[in-house]
Amino acid sequence: MTPPKDIPYRVDMARSVSNSLSLSTSPTSHFHSPPSSFKDRPQYNKQLKPFQRESIKVLLLENVNQTGRDILEQQGYQVEFLKSSLPEDQLIQKIRDVHVIGIRSKTKLTENVLKHARNLIVIGCFCIGTNQVDLQYAARNGIAVFNSPFSNSRSVAELVIAEVIALARQLGDRSMELHNGVWNKVSNGCWEIRGKTLGIVGYGHIGSQLSVLAESMGMSVIYYDVVNLMSMGTARQVSSLEELLGAADFVSLHVPELPETKNLFTSKQFEQMKNGSYLINNSRGSVVEIAALVDAMRTGKVAGAALDVYPNEPGGNGPYFSNELNSWTADLTKLKNVILTPHIGGSTEEAQSAIGIEVANALVRFVNEGATLGAVNMPEVNLRSLTLDEPNHVRVIFIHKNVPGVLRRVNSILGNHNVDKQMTDSRGEVAYLMADISDVDQGEIKDLYQSLEEDSSRIRVRVLY
């Protein structure tokens, strides 16, 4: 088979020899000796180099922070960077040959897209949410997914505090009026937030951080969560959403996108809110039925709203926030005291820089060492690093279907060598085995790889050395 022009020969070999999706499985790769300056150290980690790093192709979408790009480029990987997300047809073209993809919240990695990703081994979500990725499909195909679980939590919580005050004082309207030359000095319907009650729905990383900030500004905090959680400060957990809605002056949503949170807020919930209360949604657009919110605001039941997220969001910056995108847009934008922001809850220099570092490092650990610590769709497996004084050691990674009898078969293959350490774990249908074995000659690696490839449970084999 002649390799396509832009794919290095060994990538194509990996595919044709093993029928594997993974470049790094290639048993034909060269061993790279460690730099001689390291050799005098008594104990040092061996950099596993089963492939030429410059063959690893990385596609970064949605303006991933420079910190992340630097880490990946320093590895020698080929990094392609785009500022926006891509429509599905272009994404399918691009994803065909990459081994690593980095996205934020806009890029939808559905089964339909992922089935074209024949070389992909890992996805980095440079954000908290992972609802944009088909996590099950990815796991079933040996593709690990990483995110940054709390690097932007503080940024979101601070934005909510700003929104609580801005809504209470109708700041958006006053500012817009003055931009249009209208002086409108009023106090009617404007409030201090001191002594008011904030109701937080979803008391996880963001909700609990917000709780602390709100209390420090003199608010009382109540929260509703499906899990029983420890309260921060003097906040109080309530037993139902209805109870929260009946007591809160401000309601702020911090739940993930799940089937159970879809349209969590419809006309019923708006009816249960206090008259003249406020709604803030920085979670996901699917959580609130916007047409119902528009109705609740027209009647005055809800006195103001701040929205950062929408059911449909544009892939990049530009004049796209229109009825074409979401049918209720014109109704919403005509309302008074509505603050609309373009999904910027986590968009601060601090958060983006920290996310870039955290996710890029997780990607490098996975590509180079096979470690899945922090993966959101796979068992978390890691072994201490191999060291440079272990020259004939090989790390075997065997991602397989979680069915009986696999370990017996795999260990009979590995058993021809000395298994120094091994860890295996499962998550749902998928299991992940990592083993460091010694006394392996370079010439035996290909056979080892081939034997594992032939096991009926195999999802993906990688041999790192």
Ligand X SMILES: O=C(O)CCC(=O)C(=O)O
Ligand Y SMILES: NC(=O)C1=CN([C@@H]2O[C@H](COP(=O)(O)OP(=O)(O)OC[C@H]3O[C@@H](n4cnc5c(N)ncnc54)[C@H](O)[C@@H]3O)[C@@H](O)[C@H]2O)C=CC1
Site string for ligand X, 289-328 (x = CB under 6 A): ----------------------------------------
Which residues, including other chains, have CB under 8 Å from residue 226's CB and lie 6 or more apart?
A: 260
DSSP 106: S
Site string for ligand X, 119-158 (x = CB under 6 A): --------xxx----------------------x------
Backbone angles phi, psi at 299, to 5 degrees: -80, -10
260 binds, among ligand Y, ligand X, none (CB under 5 to 8 A by kind): ligand Y
Query: Does 313 qualify as catalytic in the annotation?
Result: yes
- What gap in Å lies between CA 344 and CA 32, rounded to an integer? 44
Per CB under 6 A, the list member of 45, 52, 78, 347 interacting with ligand X is: 347
Check 99, 284, 395, 417 and give the catalytic one.
Answer: 284
Q: Which is nearer to ligand X, 152 or 252 (CB)?
A: 152
The closest alpha carbon to 368, from 44, 72, 66, belongs to: 72
Contact 63, 84 (CB under 8 A): yes
What the block records as the tokens of 151 is: 């690097």
What the block records as the tokens of 381 is: 């497996």
Per CB under 6 A, the list member of 62, 257, 289, 358 interacting with ligand Y is: 257
- What gap in Å lies between CA 308 and CA 57, rounded to an integer? 33
Listing from the earlier edge strand, what are the strands of the sheet with 430-438? 418-427, 430-438, 394-401, 458-464
- What gap in Å lies between CA 395 and CA 113, rounded to an integer? 30
Give yes or no for residue 84 binding ligand X (CB under 6 A).
no
Query: Does 30 qualify as catalytic in the annotation?
Result: no
Query: Does 343 qualify as catalytic in the annotation?
Result: yes
102 binds, among ligand X, ligand Y, none (CB under 5 to 8 A by kind): none
108 binds, among ligand Y, ligand X, none (CB under 5 to 8 A by kind): none
Please list, residue by residue across 331-345, b when 16 or more beta carbons sit within 10 angstroms of its beta carbon and e when fewer do: bbeebebbbeeebeb
Q: Which is nearer to ligand Y, 159 or 332 (CB)?
A: 159
Q: Is 153 helix (H, G, I), strand (E, B) or coil?
A: helix
Give yes or no for residue 209 binding ligand X (CB under 6 A).
no
Give yes or no for residue 204 binding ligand Y (CB under 6 A).
yes
Which residues, including other chains, have CB under 8 Å from residue 389's CB and lie 6 or more apart?
A: 43
Which residues, including other chains, have CB under 8 Å from residue 366's CB and lie 6 or more apart?
A: 121, 122, 144, 146, 372, 375
Q: Which is nearer to ligand X, 84 or 392 (CB)?
A: 84
Q: Which is nearer to ligand Y, 206 or 461 (CB)?
A: 206
Check 313, 365, 427, 444 and give the catalytic one.
Answer: 313
- What gap in Å lies between CA 97 and CA 51, rounded to an integer? 16
Q: Which is nearer to ligand Y, 128 or 273 (CB)?
A: 128
Please list, residue by residue across 261-273, b when 16 or more beta carbons sit within 10 angstroms of its beta carbon and e when fewer do: beebbeeebbebb
255 binds, among ligand X, ligand Y, none (CB under 5 to 8 A by kind): ligand Y
- What gap in Å lies between CA 215 and CA 185, rounded to an integer? 29
Give yes or no for residue 345 binding ligand Y (CB under 6 A).
yes
Largest Cα separation within the chain, whole Å, is 84
Q: Which is nearer to ligand X, 109 or 128 (CB)?
A: 128
Give yes or no for residue 206 binding ligand Y (CB under 6 A).
yes
Site string for ligand Y, 140-169 (x = CB under 6 A): ----------x-xx--x-------------
Q: Which is nearer to ligand Y, 120 or 161 (CB)?
A: 161
**Shortest distance (Å) from residue 307 CB to ligand Y:** 10
What the block records as the tokens of 231 is: 């309260």
356 binds, among ligand Y, ligand X, none (CB under 5 to 8 A by kind): none
Q: Which is nearer to ligand Y, 79 or 287 (CB)?
A: 287
- What gap in Å lies between CA 433 and CA 414, rounded to an integer? 12
- What gap in Å lies between CA 225 and CA 223, rounded to an integer? 7
What the block records as the tokens of 452 is: 């594992």
Per CB under 6 A, the list member of 6, 40, 89, 260 interacting with ligand Y is: 260
How many residues sit in the footprint of ligand Y (CB under 6 A)? 32
Q: How far is CA 199 from CA 94, 397, 465, in A?
A: 44, 46, 53
Per CB under 6 A, the list member of 14, 101, 122, 201 interacting with ligand Y is: 201
Binding residues for ligand Y, per CB under 6 A? 128-129, 150, 152-153, 156, 201-207, 224-227, 254-258, 260-261, 282-284, 308-309, 343, 345-346
Binding residues for ligand X, per CB under 6 A? 104-105, 127-129, 152, 346-347
Catalytic residues: 284, 313, 343
